């Protein structure tokens, strides 16, 4: 099940673009414009995380973050505070409330991702991951095969294959991140397989391959590509600076 996030902010543009980015990072997102709307939504919603603008107040004039941090039904929900005007005083206030993090706007993908990892469970993936639909040539056991990738992360790739290679299989991969880029030649190991039919469900069969022995420039190329895939279009179309790489 997707973890859920509620964003409460006075900026419609920020809410729109931050929501889309969080959705791409694997979160179910609910958004509210303004403190009153956010408090109303929290009468029935119980998200796994709250992202709140620092400047918002409750109807009684108290900072919304304090009201929610002290609330009977909301005190257990982790808080991330975002602000357009960061200050030491405000950061200390957030720390005193026990907030997960305090992030200046525009949000950067890396800082947001790092903050999200602070509340992730043990099964939550710790690397950036994005949809990836390019062909990857693999070499294993003296054979060569071209497979379709389904997604790509900083640590590996999932490849579609009706009859996956056994877990532990070592292989080499050759592919490009984009049409104009150079070929990447990476080593990997099959760490998980998925059959067409498992536990009464129909799946896209294939295998998860974990990269190993990545050179620094290869790791940087993967991370740069993933950041741009996840956020560059949102950054280009935003009407105010809500996000940044």
- Dig out the tokens for 67 from the structure: 């009201």
Residues 105 and 163 reside in one and the same domain = no
- Is 83 found in the same domain as 60? yes
pLDDT tens for each residue of 41-85: 999 999 999 999 999 998 888 899 999 999 999 999 999 999 999
Q: Structure pTM?
A: 0.90
Round to whole Å and give the CA distance between 179 and 45. 44
According to DSSP, the β-strands at 184-194 and 143-153 are unpaired
What is the rounded average pLDDT of the residues 1-30? 95
Please, which residues have CB within 8 angstroms of residue 72's CB and are 6 or more apart in sequence? none
Indicate whether 119 and 136 sit together in one domain.
no
Instruction: Please give the average per-residue pLDDT across 131-152, as a whole number.
Output: 97
Which CATH number do you get for residue 98? 3.40.50.2300
Residue 92 included in any domain: yes
pLDDT in tens, 101-110: 999 999 999 9
Same structural domain, 17 and 29? yes
Interatomic CA distance for residues 243 and 245, integer angstroms: 7
Is the domain of 23 the same as that of 78?
Answer: yes
Range of the domain at 116: 4-125+232-244
Residue 224 domain-assigned (yes or no): no
The SS3 call for residue 183 is: coil
151/36 Cα distance (integer angstroms): 39
Domains in the chain, number: 2
Position 136 in a domain: yes
157: left (phi over 0), alpha (psi -120 to 50) or beta: beta
Half-sphere exposure of 114 (CA within 13 A, CB side): 8
**Tokens at 19, concatenated:** 């929501």
83 belongs to a structural domain: yes
């Amino acid at each position: 099940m997707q973890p859920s996030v509620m964003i409460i902010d006075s900026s419609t543009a920020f809410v729109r673009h931050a929501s889309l980015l969080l959705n791409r990072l694997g979160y179910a997102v609910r958004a509210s414009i303004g403190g009153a709307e956010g408090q109303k939504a929290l009468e029935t919603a119980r998200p796994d995380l709250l992202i709140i603008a620092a400047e918002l107040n409750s109807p009684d004039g108290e900072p919304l973050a304090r009201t929610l941090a002290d609330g009977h039904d909301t005190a257990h929900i982790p808080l991330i505070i975002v602000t357009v005007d960061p200050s030491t005083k405000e950061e200390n206030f957030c720390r005193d409330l026990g907030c997960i993090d305090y992030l200046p706007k525009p949000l950067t993908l890396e800082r947001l991702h790092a903050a999200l990892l602070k509340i992730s469970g043990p099964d939550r993936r710790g690397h950036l991951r994005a949809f990836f639909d390019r062909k990857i040539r693999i070499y294993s056991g003296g054979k060569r095969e071209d497979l379709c990738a389904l997604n790509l992360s900083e640590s590996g790739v999932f490849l579609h294959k009706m009859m996956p290679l056994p877990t532990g299989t070592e292989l080499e991969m050759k592919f490009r991140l984009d049409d104009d880029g150079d070929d990447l030649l990476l080593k990997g190991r099959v760490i998980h397989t998925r059959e067409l039919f498992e536990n009464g469900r129909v799946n896209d069969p294939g295998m998860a391959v974990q990269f190993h022995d990545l050179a620094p420039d290869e790791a940087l190329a993967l991370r740069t590509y993933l950041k741009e895939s996840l956020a560059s279009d949102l950054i280009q179309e935003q009407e105010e600076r809500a996000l940044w790489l």
